[in-house]
Amino acid sequence: MNINLNLFDFKQEVNYRTEILAGLTVALALVPEAVAFAIIANLDPLIGLYAAFVMGLITAVFGGRPGMISGATGAVAVVIVGLVVSVGPENAPGYVFACVIVAGIIQILAGVLRLGKLMRLVPHSVVFGFVNGLAIVIFLAQLEQFKDAQTGEWLMGNEMYLMLGLVALVMLIMWGLPKLTKAIPSGLASIIVVFALVYFMDLDTRTVGDIASIEGGFPWPSIPQVPFTWETLKIILPYSLIVAGVGLIESLLTLNIIDEITETRGRGNKEAVAQGAANMLSGFTGGMGGCAMIGQSLINISSGSRARLSGIVAAVMLLIFIMFGSSYIEMVPMAALTGIMIMVAIGTFEWTSLRTFGKMPKWDLFVIVLVTVLTVFLDLALAVLAGVIIAALRFAYENAKRIRARKHIDENGVKHYEIYGPLFFGSVQTFSEKFDPLNDPDEIIIDFMESRVADMSAIEALNRMTERYAKVGKKVTLRHLSPDCRKRLNKADELIEVNVDEDPTYKVMADFE
């Protein structure tokens, strides 16, 4: 049944059956992930599950990207584990909850200040590398299910064959079922089939319950049990900043990816505020915080969800699992969830990026590979930051070579320099080399009609250049400069004129900062 639903400013046609089934599939997939990430952070599994419930519910209702799923994530868990080690396991929960609350405040401020638009500065090559790296991370994480939980050694004999067979069956169902019907999400169908097979044939394979118990109560709000002192803030603030940054980067990149898949447009700043509010509430309700989850988001989207309802269903069902259905969910075979996540990894990887090798510029290929490697072996935030910096430096270098000057002397003996190409910190040296104050005539005109003064380095270069002509008693006229550029030329004397006719009205970049 299709019904028009206008829920919190997102109006679209919602298929209730699809949204509910997609939400149920996501809820089942959230359980082992949340438990695993809590264990990574040396915390009780319920702390991860509570975070998944709160993050999922708040962002589903108030977030800027319908269909995107949030919860406890590995990126945040890796940061949290450092705080746990520094304060000790016995004190960790209180400090973790306080850290997540402060991180949420930072994310809300980022959204209010509209910093989500900074994602426009992330090149497509960085997104490719991020997605590919994340796909590899998701795949590698599933390999743990093929190892013995006690010894860490690979499974042998019948155990390995059974695990491989069940995982292969899940992958086959997820690949083939959508070709036959989309009435039921392929992920949910594969879980049901494998569960029935294991249960009725009494197959001995690892289940969710073998990882940890998920039984718990309702996460009532409470104040974190930490000293309210400046020392406490100094301990948690560095971790809060990293959690906030990593969470926003992963959430906004996931938002962009879902935008491309669904050919719609989310709202980054609104998502930042929702992520912050969710992290704050997560801290007050005993959760470890988190951010958007690309794997679960892709499960949701591939199941047909396009609205907020599936995320709400996933969060509510997760809480129901914790409070009332833990004994049943703990019976779900890990092979079913492993197969789903491997298919997610395969679907996440940008296979088109491999076909562009030899066609893309070498620098872009280098950035893709670098971000992929850093995402796998180091850190998501560091990988994205490194990719953006390298892409920006390469862009600056290429544009620094594009500054040119056409020169001619008119009938009155006035020499004209017609500048074209951007004048910014990278091109000021080349710009300065274009002029010859000693040998130029007594009057020169520098025309910026086809150029743009981009930053304070460019302004300073103009000041230095006009001073050079002033020292040898020659007149300089600068044409087609914006008013703010002329105002900043405060070192020039009366020998420097600025023609105001037809001057552009753009602003120097520094004025926006």
Model pLDDT for residues 48-64, shown as the tens digit of each residue: 999 999 999 999 999 99
Q: Is the pLDDT of residue 309 over 80?
A: yes
And the tokens for 416? 């004209």
Return the C-alpha torsion angle 90, 93, 98, 99, nearest 10: 90
Chosen domain end from 332, 361, 391? 391
Question: What mean pLDDT comes out for the span 495-501?
Answer: 47
pLDDT (mean) for 110-120: 81
For residue 248, being part of any structural domain is answered with yes
In a domain, 7, yes or no: no
Assess whether 352 and 417 both reside in one domain.
Answer: no
**Digit-coded pLDDT (tens) for 243-266:** 898 888 889 888 988 888 888 888
Q: Based on the domain organization, do 407 and 266 belong to the same domain?
A: no
Exposure on the CB side of residue 372, measured as CA atoms within 13 A: 19
Decide if pLDDT at 199 tops 50: yes
**397 lies in some domain:** no
- 315: phi > 0 → left, psi -120 to 50 → alpha, else beta; which? alpha
- 2 is a domain residue: no
| Residue after which a domain boundary falls, among 371, 391, 411 | 391
What is the band of 429 on the pLDDT scale with cuts at 50, 70, 90? confident
Check if the beta carbon of residue 362 is closer than 8 Å to that of residue 374.
no
Q: How confident is the model at residue 8 (pLDDT cuts 50, 70, 90)?
A: very low
> What range defines the domain where residue 436 resides?
403-512
Residue 274 has pLDDT above 90, yes or no: yes
Quick one: 342 and 265 in the same domain?
Answer: yes
The number of folded domains in the chain is: 2
| Rounded Cα gap, residues 160 and 332, in angstroms | 18
The pTM for the full model equals 0.70
Percent of the chain with pLDDT over 90: 24
Quick one: 436 and 382 in the same domain? no
Print burial letters for 319-348: b (CB count within 10 Å at least 16), e (below 16): bebbeeebeebbebbbbbbbbbbbbbbebb
What average pLDDT score do residues 4-21 get? 66
pLDDT band at 1 (very low <50, low <70, confident <90, very high): very low
Contact by Cβ (8 Å): 100, 287: yes
Residue 4 lies in a domain: no
Residue 254 lies in a domain: yes
Question: Which residues are within 8 A (CB) of 141 and not within 5 positions of it... i.e. 6 or more apart?
Answer: 36, 74, 341
Pairing of β 10-15 and β 404-409: unpaired
Query: Max CA-CA distance within the chain?
Result: 100
Per the domain annotation, does 69 fall within a domain?
A: yes
Q: What average pLDDT does the chain have?
A: 83
pLDDT in tens, 359-411: 777 888 888 888 889 888 876 667 878 888 888 888 887 777 778 888 988 88
Instruction: State whether residue 309 is helix, strand or coil.
Output: helix
**Residue 423 belongs to a domain with what CATH number?**
3.30.750.24
Residues 109 and 41 in one domain: yes
Task: Please provide the distance, in angstroms rounded to a whole number, between the alpha carbons at the two ends of the chain.
Answer: 50
Using the structure block, give the residue that is written with the tokens 């016995």: 90
Residue 91: pLDDT band (50, 70, 90) is confident
87-to-73, 80, 235, 243, 261 alpha-carbon distances in Å? 21, 11, 9, 17, 42
Cβ 380 vs Cβ 251: under 8 Å: no
**Interior angle at CA 320, CA 316 and CA 321, nearest 5:** 115
425: three-class secondary structure by DSSP: coil
**Statement: residue 513 has pLDDT above 60:** no
SS3 183: coil
Q: Are residues 362 and 443 in the same domain?
A: no
Q: Which of 391, 411, 434 is the last residue of a domain?
A: 391
Q: What is the pLDDT of residue 484?
A: 64
Asked whether residue 204 falls in the same domain as residue 250, the answer is: yes
User: Which of 97, 171, 119 has its CA nearest to residue 337?
Assistant: 171
Residues 412 and 386 in one domain: no
Question: Are 250 and 183 within one domain?
Answer: yes
Task: Mark whether 360 and 445 lie in a shared domain.
Answer: no
Rounded to whole angstroms, the Cα distance separating 246 from 243 reads 5
Amino acid at 135: A
Closest CA to 241 of 103, 109, 360, 140: 103
Residues 216 and 236 in one domain: yes
* Same domain membership, residue 212 and residue 302: yes
Is residue 501 domain-resident? yes
Separation of alpha carbons 385 and 129, rounded Å: 12
> Residue holding tokens 């915390």?
43
